[in-house]
């Protein structure tokens, strides 16, 4: 896209016009608008909706996670760009529907972070990291009371969703599950195992990923011997 023109004065005193490159975020927003232009945009991009783009958004988030776990910073840069593009994509469709724009997305997250960090942007005492984790959950709970509780997202992986449901129940004073023994069906046993993991300070989703990785390594090692 064309950048803006502005005047620069060379050493000799003559006035020259040079092209100013757009800011990176402005460039991306303009690129997205071009892709969705009804007259000259891309037919595939024009045919998309929130529902059809959502699976790509989830996929890109997992690819960011994968790059982090592999310690590949170059790949992480690219994957973060892909994820950012997803945010811009959704914001553009919302702007076309006159719901909100990208700037509203930025304003909303800035306001949320300021609200949830009163020890940084206000006068609340800081405390330690444990204290801040508890305070964060208290602020989120108050937000849910004020705005209506949207519930735990159904699209989360089942183990992650189970852990979040249990954590929310524990914060509400519900007793923790004791053991997976005696559970009547496989789903109940898995749900109870998630509770055991949480009480041990483990992330059940991460624990299963590590078990998968360990098994995969063993499988590959066995394959190399055959």
**pLDDT at residue 8 is higher than 60:** no
Q: Which of 63-67, 197-201, 218-222 has the lowest mean pLDDT?
A: 218-222
* Closest C-alpha among 169, 158, 168 to residue 208: 158
Q: List pLDDT tens digits, range 35-57.
A: 999 999 999 999 999 999 999 99
**pLDDT at residue 1 is higher than 50:** no
What Cα–Cα distance (Å) separates residue 202 from each residue in 43, 155, 214?
46, 21, 17
Strand partners, 16: 8
Q: What is the assigned CATH class of domain 157-226?
A: mainly alpha
Q: Which of 8-17, 62-71, 173-182, 196-205 has the lowest mean pLDDT?
A: 8-17
Mean pLDDT of the chain: 86
pLDDT, residue 87, reads 98
Residue that is written with structure tokens 């958004």 in the block: 57
pLDDT, residue 212, reads 85
In the chain, which segments carry CATH 1.10.287.1080? 1-100, 157-226
Give CA–CA dist 190/77, Å, rounded.
Answer: 36
Helix (H) or strand (E) holding 62: helix 50-69
Backbone angles phi, psi at 117, to 5 degrees: -125, 60
Neighbouring residues of 93: CB distance < 8 A, sequence distance ≥ 6: 36, 48, 49, 50, 53
pTM of the model: 0.70
Can you read off the two tokens belonging to residue 17?
Answer: 């016009």
49: helix, strand or coil: coil
Report CA dihedral (178, 180, 184, 189) to the nearest 10 degrees: 130
pLDDT, residue 149, reads 67
pLDDT, residue 29, reads 98
180: helix, strand or coil: coil
Instruction: Say yes or no: domain 1-100 is CATH 3.40.50.300.
Output: no
Give CA–CA dist 103/83, Å, rounded.
Answer: 17
CA atoms within 13 A on the CB side of 203: 6
Backbone angles phi, psi at 214, to 5 degrees: -65, -45
pLDDT bucket at 59, cuts 50 / 70 / 90: very high
């Amino acid at each position: 896209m064309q950048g803006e023109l502005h005047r620069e004065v060379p050493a000799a005193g003559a006035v020259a016009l040079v092209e100013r490159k757009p800011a990176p975020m402005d460039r991306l927003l303009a690129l997205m608008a071009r892709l969705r232009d009804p007259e000259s945009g891309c037919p595939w991009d024009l045919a998309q909706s929130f529902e059809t783009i959502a699976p790509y958004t989830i996929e890109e988030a997992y690819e960011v996670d994968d790059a982090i776990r592999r310690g590949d910073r170059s790949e992480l840069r690219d994957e973060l760009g892909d994820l950012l593009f997803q945010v811009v994509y959704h914001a553009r469709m919302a702007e076309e529907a006159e719901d909100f724009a990208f700037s509203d997305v930025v304003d909303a997250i800035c306001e949320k972070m300021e609200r949830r960090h009163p020890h940084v942007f206000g006068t609340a005492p800081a405390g330690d990291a444990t204290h801040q984790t508890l305070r964060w959950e208290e602020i989120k709970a108050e937000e849910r009371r004020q705005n209506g509780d949207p519930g735990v997202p159904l699209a989360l992986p089942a183990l992650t969703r189970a852990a979040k449901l249990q954590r929310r129940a524990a914060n509400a004073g519900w007793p923790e599950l004791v053991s997976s023994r005696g559970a009547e069906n496989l789903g109940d046993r898995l749900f109870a195992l998630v509770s055991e993991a949480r009480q041990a300070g483990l992330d059940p989703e991460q624990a299963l990923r590590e078990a998968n990785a360990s098994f995969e390594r063993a499988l590959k090692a066995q394959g190399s011997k055959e």
